[in-house]
Amino acid sequence: MSNDILILLLIGLFAGTMGAILGLGGGIIITPIVTLALGLEIKYAIGASIIAVIATSSGATIAFLKDDVLNLRVAMFLEIATTIGAIAGAILTGVINSGFLYVLFGSLLVFSSWNMLRKLRAGQEVLQLTHPDKIATRFKLNDSYYDKNLKAKIDYQVEHIPTGLSIMFGAGLASGMLGIGSGAFKVMALDNAMKMPLKPASATSNLMMGVTAAASATVYFFNGSIRPDIAVPLALGILVGATIGSRIMQLLPSKIIRAVFIPVLLYLGLQMILKGTGVL
């Protein structure tokens, strides 16, 4: 028992740190460990993952709000799409073939990984249009953030808001139906489609995934899928990890964070495609 607690605390510490840096939920780390290493049923792994997402989100958001990294308006605006997507997902469970969705979303992530590679090579991080995007101006989505690595305030713009909204709807749908990709699709919408710089994109994804997860978390809480002996040490480790990660992220050069993303997204995407085609 105390051995398991120690393992879960350490896994949480690692998952929280990485999750806060990348804006991902940590399900890729949590699920295999809970099912394979601890030998527990998949429903407890899903319950633990949901709590992990919320702990990462809330833990990291405190620092990101204080240090002015995230974009609160973009988060609120896009959350309309993710929450509607999550509801649609809950309703459509069983109606749409989930294998097809796994392949579709997996392919999107592989594409997103390739996009990250392209952006890394191009080396351009900040969008500055001479004519700012009309929707972005209307909804006050252009913002600035303070980059602790460059020691400068960076003004940035966003564009392609309808595409961003569509991907966010898909992100909500995926987490509502399949319980996956809470953060990956959000980073994809913000970074690939809307051209937000990577640090505010990751921080904003972190903020948003907590809300998406909270919607389904109460269901898991009351139906007994969230075991206190697993969720509590995990959450405590994650809260500490996310606090550390949200500070490390701000000090890292964006290039390094982007370089870490490429294999992570590729792995996530391939895993989903294999799952959808029945290989996994």
Partner 1 sequence: MEKKKPTLALEMKEIELTIGKIMRVGVVLAAVFMLVGMGLFFINKGSGYPGATFPTTLTLIFQGTLHFKAYAYMMAGIFFLILTPVLRVIVSIYAFWKEKDFLYVYITSAVLFILIISYLIGHH
Site for partner 1, rule CB under 8 A: 5, 51, 54-55, 57-59, 61-62, 65-66, 68, 70, 72-73, 76-77, 79-80, 83-84, 86-87, 90-91, 139-140, 143-144, 207, 210-211, 213-219, 221-224, 226-229, 231-233, 235-236, 239
Which run of H or of E encompasses 32?
helix 27-32
In angstroms, give the least distance from the CB of 103 to partner 1. Answer: 26
Nearer residue to partner 1 within complex by CB, 197 or 210: 210
In angstroms, give the least distance from the CB of 184 to partner 1. Answer: 18
Which token pair is 178? 């399949």
CA 127 → CA 143, 165, 189, distances in Å?
Answer: 11, 18, 15
In this structure, the number of other CB atoms found within 10 A of the CB of residue 240 comes to: 17
Which token pair is 184? 């990956």
In angstroms, give the least distance from the CB of 84 to partner 1. Answer: 6
The answer for residues whose C-beta is within 8 angstroms of residue 223's C-beta and 6 or more apart is: none
Which token pair is 254? 């964006």
In angstroms, give the least distance from the CB of 106 to partner 1. Answer: 25
Nearer residue to partner 1 within complex by CB, 77 or 261: 77
Q: Which of 178, 240, 226 is nearest to 48 (CA)?
A: 226
CB 199 within 8 A of CB 147: yes
Nearer residue to partner 1 within complex by CB, 113 or 225: 225
In angstroms, give the least distance from the CB of 12 to partner 1. Answer: 11
Nearer residue to partner 1 within complex by CB, 111 or 146: 146
Which token pair is 256? 């390094």
